[in-house]
Amino acid sequence: DAGVIQSPRHEVTEMGQEVTLRCKPISGHNSLFWYRQTMMRGLELLIYFNNNVPIDDSGMPEDRFSAKMPNASFSTLKIQPSEPRDSAVYFCASSFSGRSQETQYFGPGTRLLVL
């Protein structure tokens, strides 16, 4: 299995630009999670989906952030417009909801730098 795939691995952009982060979960998993990691705030859950439906988006910072999951094998996290304080590592994780233990498997992350 290829694991969770994220793209791009690195992104450098200028303030005000739109940024789109992509995630392909592990085949067969039905839950998908977007996290943000910074030195100051640690690891924060932004949003998660179950069977392609957003379940909890309470961690999404503000309206500039949006996430979609059009099908079971693809999700995007979009920031528009981006700001320097959005600089962070963004992780996608997936799991199979239904097993009692439900391990989350993480992707390698996208390192975003907004200048």
Q: Which residues bind another protein (CB under 8 A)?
A: 4, 31, 33, 42-43, 45, 48, 50, 55-56, 91, 93, 97, 100-109
Whether the CB-CB separation of 76 and 7 falls below 8 Å is answered with no
Based on CB atoms, which residue is closest to another protein, 45 or 72? 45
Q: Taking the complex as a whole, how short is the minimal distance between the CB of residue 96 and another protein, in angstroms?
A: 11
Q: Taking the complex as a whole, how short is the minimal distance between the CB of residue 91 and another protein, in angstroms?
A: 6
Cis ω for the linkage preceding 70 (within 30 of 0)? no
Based on CB atoms, which residue is closest to another protein, 37 or 81? 37
* 25-59 CB burial, b ≥16 within 10 A, e <16: bbeebebbbbbbeeeeeeeebbbbbbebeeeeeee
Q: Taking the complex as a whole, how short is the minimal distance between the CB of residue 5 and another protein, in angstroms?
A: 11
Based on CB atoms, which residue is closest to another protein, 27 or 97? 97
Q: Taking the complex as a whole, how short is the minimal distance between the CB of residue 95 and another protein, in angstroms?
A: 9
Based on CB atoms, which residue is closest to another protein, 52 or 81? 52
Using CB atoms within 10 Å of the CB of residue 106, give its burial: 0 to 12 exposed, 13 to 18 middle, 19+ buried: middle
